[in-house]
Structure 1
Amino acid sequence: MGTSRQSSGYYAEPLFTELPKPSQTPVTVVSPMMAPPPALTPKQILVHHSADQWEEFVYEWVLGLKKTAGYVDVVGMGGSNDRGADIAAFLTTRKTDDRWHCYQCKHYEKALTPHAAYPEMLKIFVAVAEKQYQVLPERYVFVAPKTGASLTQLLAKPSELKASFFREIAKPGSRLTADYDEAVLHRALDLAQQTDFSRFEAGSLDTILEQHATTPYHVRRFGTRLPERPAVPKPPPEHSADEARYIQQLLRVYAEKYGCSPHSPDEARAHPRAGRHLQRQREAFYCADALRVFARDSVPPGTYESLQDDVYDGVVEVEERDFGTGYDRLNAVLDAARDMELGANVLVSYVRPNDRKGICHQLANEDRLTWCQEEER
């Protein structure tokens, strides 16, 4: 008589064995709502600028034109009483008494039209008629996110622009002339009749952005990446006048450490250890100077100086400690600079180890750091 599997009390093997499922890598599906939004382009960012921010952007652009356009100075003149010029760029030191260019900033949701341009054009004629400016600007540039087709076409035909301007003024009940004294208006319109309207133009936003990208302000305004840092030049065989003070400080270190003359760079260079050490410090100095030049051309003024201040703040407590020799103090400061956190400066990701050392020598070059302090007392 057989015994049933269910009642036996023993474990029974199943009749069929389930095969293991093939291993699968988990797949995470990200909802479109969770995906990071695409970065805005500079054009899209400019659309959201306020009128003041737009004027700052244009000012940065015109500053960037300084060398190529031959401007001796660029001045922001915007405000409620700008007298027809938001930004003035001067070609001589006599400013608006001589040759100059005018940049008029307009930031509207819609494209700039002749209806919006004519009051600004009249304003500059009135300003000269009232002797606010001695002469008209040689160039008068409307700078707007978008210029309408009708104004673009008129600007391409100065004679038609002039005729259209006067037709608008001559319309019965025109509000263009309502706010001006009749005598001043007469002088202004007489000046306009004698003027070549080819001086009026509109800036191309694509060209403006291309040129703005070459200025130190572009990265900060649009959050773009800095350009690649150029190769660091080797220091020349003889030190320059710009290196005099930090070299003098190093010579004092070598005089104390190795007995070299504190007044002879040649003697230090000839010393087997001092010479190699001096060469390394000069390479570091030139590395930091290359970073300074890179910063000058790529980021807003003061950025590199802020980095120098960060290094100084990180090492000055070390520099002020008591040391047996200036050589020990120098090495302790360089070690501190190498190991310190540099904060949020935009240049941090471009800083090399030699830059940190070089900045210390730049600070020594300005007497903000001193290695042989006993000799300075």
Structure 2
Amino acid sequence: MSTSERFSAFHAEPLFSELPKPSQTPVTVVAPMMAMPPTLTPKQILVHHSADQWEEFIYEWVSALKEAEYVDVVRMGGANDRGADIAAFLTKGKTDGPWHCFQCKHYGKAIGAATAYPEILKIHSAVTEQKYKVLPERYLFVAPKIGGSFVQLLTKPSALRAGFFEWVAKNAEKLGEEYGEDPLRRALDLASRSDFSRFEAGNLDKILEVHSRTPQHVRRFGTRLPDRPAIPAAPPEHAPKETRYIQQLLNVYHEKWGCSPSSPDEAHAHHRAGPNLRRQREAFYCAEQLRMFARDSVPEGTFESLQSDMYSGVSEVEEDDFPTGYARMKAVLAAARDMQLGSNVLIHYVKPEDRKGICHQLANEDRLTWVQEEL
């Protein structure tokens, strides 16, 4: 067979004839769903805090310890804190009277006795050197991680004292140079007479449980706010805090329907003004309840920021020309209902009535005026 015949014979057979014909239906390749990164728990977030952030967190927790009834809580941390990062006072005498001390430690590893002993010496020295008049009644070591053996040691005050003096003996020369012989002797004399049951370790689970009820918790950990309580009905009697916005409404009803501007009873009895007044009061109290919810659930200023956003959105409408104060009020309330509220943490809890009520809160402060005199 010639070369040309062999070439023709080779091409007479279909190439890859043993393979099945591809399906005519197009194949769609679907990428696996991208997994969301796992949400860090508060404990995991705290591990990544800086030392200063950790101290701030502990300050928030101590300030929320209602059962202790502290007169004041003060951050005393710094290079010369003398063994007290945070002090909580039980009387106006502060550290001259009964007080509690919180020593904040934020290390990559769990703290143990080796970390505690220098602080125990430091607080006794501070008292003998009259930095503080008396030792704190309670002294808590607070850290993201506390070694189990140290926790057990703290349950045995006599063993804690013995371990402390063993540590002093091993480091006597160094401590003498650091404190001076006489100051060290005075501090150790006080320690020998001190009740070591005052030294404790903070329980992080219990700390977080208390902190979860503070307004700072959602900001620090990005957790959900608690459920908003049921909204109470407006009380039948007008309260003193309603005086100004009610007067603004009475001015509206006087201009619109001739009701007396000085008689809420007359407005309530009017067939048009009465239902409107009741609705506006319900909205006002709805916003007041949101204010109280914010006070207890989010950092200070969050609700005021929401009010400012609302004012910024409706003030341009309020400044427009309207034939009556009633028309101005209706236009502002409609604008409040429809406006975007930005990224305030409260926006998921704001109800339509809150928006109207915030307008009446602003009217209560004369930041909004319904019946405007012509200049």
- TM-score normalised to structure 2 length: 0.89
DSSP 3-state at the match of 2:179? coil
- Cα distance in 1 between the residues matched to 2:69 and 2:237: 35
Letter in 2 for 1:138: E
Letter in 1 for 2:38: P
| Alignment pair present for 1:313 and 2:326 | no
Gaps of 5+ in 1: 1-20
Q: How far did 1:336 drift?
A: 1.4
| Alignment pair present for 1:103 and 2:102 | yes
Equivalent residues of 2:284, 2:360 under 8 A apart: yes
Gaps of 5+ in 2: 1-22
C-alpha distance 26-175 of structure 1, shift in aligned 2 (>3 A): farther
Query: Mapping of 1:150-165 within 5 angstroms?
Result: 150-165=149-164
Q: State the partner residue of 2:212.
A: 213
Equivalent residues of 2:42, 2:221 under 8 A apart: yes
Q: State the partner residue of 1:55.
A: 55
- Cα distance in 2 between the residues matched to 1:347 and 1:291: 9
Letter in 2 for 1:310: D
C-alpha distance 268-199 of structure 1, shift in aligned 2 (>3 A): same
| Alignment pair present for 1:352 and 2:354 | no
- Cα distance in 2 between the residues matched to 1:55 and 1:133: 21
- Cα distance in 1 between the residues matched to 2:227 and 2:283: 19
Cα-Cα RMSD: 2.3
- Cα distance in 2 between the residues matched to 1:246 and 1:345: 25
DSSP 3-state at the match of 2:237? coil
Equivalent residues of 1:168, 1:174 under 8 A apart: no
C-alpha distance 194-239 of structure 1, shift in aligned 2 (>3 A): same
CA offset digits 1:284-303 (Å, max 9, x no partner) = 01111111111111111111
- Cα distance in 2 between the residues matched to 1:143 and 1:22: 68
Query: Mapping of 1:337-348 within 5 angstroms?
Result: 337-348=336-347
- Cα distance in 2 between the residues matched to 1:116 and 1:44: 22
Equivalent residues of 1:77, 1:85 under 8 A apart: yes
- Cα distance in 1 between the residues matched to 2:166 and 2:304: 55
Greater mean alpha carbon deviation, residues 115-124 or residues 88-97: 88-97
Letter in 2 for 1:259: G
| Alignment pair present for 1:121 and 2:123 | no
Q: State the partner residue of 2:32.
A: 30
Q: State the partner residue of 1:137.
A: 136
Query: Mapping of 1:246-261 within 5 angstroms?
Result: 246-261=245-260
Equivalent residues of 2:175, 2:184 under 8 A apart: no
DSSP 3-state at the match of 1:89? strand
- Cα distance in 2 between the residues matched to 1:346 and 1:244: 30
- Cα distance in 1 between the residues matched to 2:85 and 2:184: 21
- TM-score normalised to structure 1 length: 0.89
Q: State the partner residue of 1:64.
A: 64
Query: Mapping of 1:193-204 within 5 angstroms?
Result: 193-204=192-203
Q: How far did 1:350 drift?
A: 0.9
| Alignment pair present for 1:46 and 2:46 | yes
DSSP 3-state at the match of 1:179? helix
Q: State the partner residue of 2:11.
A: none
Equivalent residues of 1:169, 1:177 under 8 A apart: no
Q: How far did 1:185 drift?
A: 2.4
DSSP 3-state at the match of 2:279? helix
| Alignment pair present for 1:241 and 2:243 | no
Greater mean alpha carbon deviation, residues 309-318 or residues 190-199: 190-199
CA offset digits 1:217-255 (Å, max 9, x no partner) = 111111111111111000110011121121121111112
Q: How far did 1:307 drift?
A: 0.5
- Percent sequence identity is 69
| Alignment pair present for 1:170 and 2:169 | yes
Equivalent residues of 2:128, 2:186 under 8 A apart: yes
Q: State the partner residue of 2:183.
A: 184
